[in-house]
A and B are shown apart, each in its own frame.
Chain A
Amino acid sequence: DVKVTQSSRYLVKRTGEKVFLECVQDMDHENMFWYRQDPGLGLRLIYFSYDVKMKEKGDIPEGYSVSREKKERFSLILESASTNQTSMYLCASSPSSAPRNEQFFGPGTRLTVL
């Protein structure tokens, strides 16, 4: 069964803290994605990676960085968390070869920055 897991379901951090969100997929997918989800705005792409050590900026990369040292793991890093980064963060993965390029999503991490 396809599986994307995220390290935490809920996280509370203070302004200025460094925050790591981890995502692991067990499907040997080449592509991995980080989105944030805010009410009424849908999902917005932060960063994505199409191979190990490769990364591309999405639509809203400011304030975030990512790391992909292994194929199965894609980390999102908030160098200095701010209150406007309070959101639901969703990780997804997809294979390069599938014609419809379906993305498989993790359950999400709800981050609150105080």
Chain B
Amino acid sequence: GEDVEQSLFLSVREGDSSVINCTYTDSSSTYLYWYKQEPGAGLQLLTYIFSNMDMKQDQRLTVLLNKKDKHLSLRIADTQTGDSAIYFCAERDAGNKLTFGGGTRVLVKP
């Protein structure tokens, strides 16, 4: 079946940029998503990108998609302590099913 991989952990200093990477295997992906999960809470959609786009920017968030390499990244500019959370990438296939990565725990140090 489809597979989505992420690194487990990222540590970054407040004010620096964070980059979270994700790879996926499904070539029929239509949308790719980034979700954020804060402690004790459910998942919240941060941003998404349509599979025919290369880049999407939304305030401090930049999503880059390399469809050839099946590589997705999320860059958070000027990382704040409130950005500490688990970030999940997910891909949606042609049948509208979402497959999630294992999540990257981001720790922002003051």
* B-binding residues in A (CB < 8 A): 4, 35, 40-45, 59, 90, 92, 100-108
Taking the nearest CB of chain A, how far is it from the CB of B2, in angstroms? 10
C-alpha spacing A37/B90, complex, angstroms: 14
Among residues of A, the one whose C-beta sits closest to the C-beta of B48 is: A100
The answer to whether A105 and B101 have CB atoms under 8 Å apart is: no
The interface residues of chain B lying within 8 Å CB-to-CB of A42 are 4, 6, 88, 100-103
Closest residue on chain B to residue A31 by CB atoms: B96
Contact of A101 among B31, B44, B103 (CB under 8 A): B31
Q: How many residue pairs at the A-B interface have CB separations less than 8 Å?
A: 48
A101-B43 contact given A42-B101, A42-B102, A45-B97, CB 8 Å threshold: no
Interface residue tally for chain B (C-beta within 8 Å) = 25
Say yes or no: A45 contacts B31, CB within 8 Å.
no
**A101 and B42 within 8 A (CB):** no
A90 touches B43 (CB 8 A): yes
Q: Which residues of A contact B98 (CB under 8 A)?
A: 45, 103
Contact B41 A101 (CB under 8 A): no
With contacts A45-B97, A59-B1, A100-B31 known, is A40 near B102, CB below 8 A? yes
A40-B8, A101-B31, A104-B45 given; 5 more Cβ-contact pairs under 8 Å: A92-B42, A92-B43, A102-B45, A105-B42, A108-B42
A102 to B33, CA, bound (A): 9
| Chain B, range 1-41, C-beta contacts under 8 Å to A | 1, 4, 6, 8, 31, 33, 35, 40-41
Which of A35, A41, A42, A44 has the most C-beta atoms of chain B within 10 angstroms of its own C-beta?
Answer: A42
Question: Beyond A59-B1, A101-B31, is A43–B42 a contact (Cβ under 8 Å)?
Answer: no
